[in-house]
Amino acid sequence: MSEIVLGVTGSIAAYKAAELVRVFVKAGHEVSVVMTAGATKFVTPLTFQTLSRRPVTTGLFEPDVVWEPNHISLAQRANVLVVAPCTANVIAKLAVGIADDALTATALACRAPLVVAPAMNDAMFEHPATQANIATLRSRGATIVEPASGELACGTTGKGRLAAIEDIAKAVLEVLAKTGDTTQ
């Protein structure tokens, strides 16, 4: 059984990550969720705890139930780290190695493959800084699940919608298959 660590960031699309947890659990995977502070403004940790049947990490300095720091133990257990939805802010942090919250610290300590599913305003997604950060992540081997085009929460239309849950799940399962994890 594989361990999927799912990072959820502060995007309106955070509610869609709950369905991603359901898909992974139904496929027989263990899912541990790490939420940024912004993500908790859109969806509560209890939602993810209920669906994953596991504790949810929301901060770097939460009391650990074992002696090891949670972000390190999550990073060590992960067969894949998925960040969906992933904001421009977190993409930038991942690209330059900033580890100022539980998710980015977990990512920095994680040696498992990284799958990133961006979700943001189209202008933010198309900005040269965001595109450079995505290129950096790709150059390090990250799988980027391209956002969809359509109506965005801010009222504009363009590329920035979180990819379909099926597309994200497919990308994650393909990464797991490449690493030799055949649990499906």
Catalytic residues: 154
End-to-end CA, the chain: 9
Task: Name the residue with tokens 């950096």.
Answer: 136
Long-range own/partner contacts, residues 150-158 (CB < 8 A, 24 or more apart):
152/121, 152/122, 153/12, 153/13, 154/121, 156/121, 156/122, 156/123, 157/122, 158/121, 158/122, 158/123, 158/125, 158/126
**Which DSSP category does 64 fall into?**
P
The answer to whether 142 and 115 are in contact (CB under 8 A) is yes
**CA angle, residues 18, 159, 37, in degrees to nearest 5:** 40
